[in-house]
Amino acid sequence: MKALLFFPGSILHGGRFYYDSTQDALRVKVKNQKLDKLVEWLKYEFIDQKEDGVTIAMSWEKRMIPFKVDVDRKASQIAAFINDFRTMRRYSDFIDAANWCIKYPNQYTTNVGMGRAYSAKGDYKNALTYMEAAVSQAPDEGSINNLQAMIINLTEGKNVN
């Protein structure tokens, strides 16, 4: 038996009185399973947890609807760091970012971050080393173009931030 899961694109488009299916961010059909025991209250469980995803199971009455959620944890964390640094942050946030770089050395985001940090300090020689290393790790052509522009600025003794 299949169930339809839908995820509204906004909290404003949810609820039984205001629901509009055209505003859904995602709709998926998933298999559901019959349960032997009655689950009186709607229950959510996180099962089969892994570093890159989890299976979420919703149980109610005599049915369970499990569905898998995958995530690129590294990309999500980097996006969170970037967003956090757009505002005034506590010093501990910078320590968290530094620890990330220590845990994941010589990766694109680490190399770009280190390059920017050295550039901000005026150490263009070390900044250049990290930016050049990041070029071969860049995820797409736009990133490569941005890195090449930063490399030119660094070789000219200019800050890239």
Q: What is the CATH number of the domain that holds 86?
A: 1.25.40
pTM over 0.85: no
Please give the mean pLDDT across all residues of the chain: 86
Q: Let me know whether 94 and 148 are in one domain.
A: yes
Residues 117/101, Cβ–Cβ less than 8 Å = no
Q: What is the domain extent for residue 54?
A: 36-71
- The answer on pLDDT for 88 being more than 70 is no
Please report, rounded to a whole number, the percentage of residues in the chain having pLDDT higher than 90: 42
Residues 57/64, Cβ–Cβ less than 8 Å = yes
Condensed to tens digits (0 to 9), the pLDDT of residues 92-143 reads 777 887 888 888 888 988 999 889 888 988 999 999 999 999 999 998 888 9
Residue 161 lies in a domain: no
Q: Let me know whether 67 and 77 are in one domain.
A: no
**pLDDT value of residue 38:** 94
Alpha helices in 61-140 (DSSP H): 73-84, 91-103, 108-121, 124-135
Residue 112 lies in a domain: yes
Residue 10 lies in a domain: yes
Residue 100 lies in a domain: yes
Q: Let me know whether 23 and 50 are in one domain.
A: no
Q: Let me know whether 64 and 6 are in one domain.
A: no
Domain count, the chain: 3
Q: What is the CA radius of gyration of the chain?
A: 23
Q: Let me know whether 94 and 142 are in one domain.
A: yes
Q: Let me know whether 20 and 1 are in one domain.
A: yes
Residue 48 lies in a domain: yes
> Given 22, 54, 71, which residue is the final one in a domain?
71
